[in-house]
Amino acid sequence: MTLLNAKAPYLKKEASVSSMMRDTLIALAFLLILPVVRYGVRPLVMAGMTLLVCALCEIAWSLLQSRSINASDCSSMVTGLVIVLLMPLNAPMWLPCAAAAFAILVAKKPFGSTGHTPFNPAAAGVAFATLLWPQQMFAYFNPSAHEALPAFADCNVGTVPSPAAVLKNGLKPDILPMDMLWGVFAGPVGTTGILVVCACGLYLFLKRTANWEITACCLLGAALMAALWPRIACIPLTSVKYELMSGSLLFCAVFMLTDPVTSPRTWLGRVIYGFFAGVLIMLFRRYGAYEQGAAFAILIANAAVPHINSLVCGDRRWGEELYEE
């Protein structure tokens, strides 16, 4: 085996950019089906507006830089959908749009095109929205109240704490862990359908669009933290169930940590990276200011990737990739 230096952009995958983005978009689109069936077209409207903002930001940046617009690059669409799925369904329409604009204009485009970004743009956008508008980010409507959600207008509905918020306060959620599989509880629009998230993850793993070892090691790290240091008075297994199925941990482990641009290049590096991210997410849950800090944990894990690559491969240069031949 010979290791050769090559300059970015790189995706650390044999598959083409377009096929990888297409597979991810298909998986993310499936996560919109249950919310649309249960709550009407509001999820589609929110997704459409956010994707429009992503497209306009891409066009505006290209015009400012006097560059041609790459219509085949769907990475911004993936970023937009991820941000929407991490928002409350009753959030104001401008919230995911603002997060998407930050993700494209600040976390993605200044670093170049697809393959150059050191941080996951969607994680940066969600972290940005969390810091500026935490009340809107963590205010969830009660899905069991059967209240009608308007398609375009702001939602004036009552809010309830999510299981993640209840755990943050050191209390046991009212819902049983097994009942959380069906997704009828308060939380971000794309993260409560646990079975659908798992099915979408399996699709991405089988298509080799995402690396399963990152997700598995992230969940393992989080599960060990939940079992050894539970936040509620219960047996370790119950703590693990609640932690893995509440909040955005599972969603982020499947769709964000596995980003081929910001994850390590080797199998061992991905194992370390996934485990480290899982532990970080649990530390943010325990000691962070917000009920969900996965976006911040992902950004820190992204920053550690060059050091993980250096540890595993002995390569200390940022922005350069090693390919096997």
pLDDT for the residue 259: 92
pLDDT for the residue 9: 46
Dihedral angle sign, alpha carbons of residues 127, 130, 136, 140: positive
In degrees and rounded to multiples of 5, residue 70 shows phi and psi of -90, 100
Domain range holding 44?
Answer: 3-324
pLDDT for the residue 153: 83
CATH of the domain at 59: 1.10.3430
Burial 39-67 (b: 16+ CB within 10 A, else e): beebbeebbebbbebbbebbeebeeeeee
pLDDT for the residue 317: 44
Closest CA to 300 of 264, 321, 269, 276: 276
Q: How many domains does the chain have?
A: 1
pLDDT for the residue 121: 95
pLDDT for the residue 80: 96
The ranges of the chain with pLDDT < 50 are 1-14, 316-325
Q: What is the pLDDT of residues 160-206, one digit of tens each?
A: 999 999 999 999 999 988 888 888 899 999 999 999 999 999 999 99
Q: Which two tokens stand for residue 110?
A: 């200044």
Pairwise CA distance, residues 294 & 305, whole Å: 17
pLDDT for the residue 71: 59
Do 197 and 246 touch, CB atoms closer than 8 A? no
pLDDT for the residue 102: 97
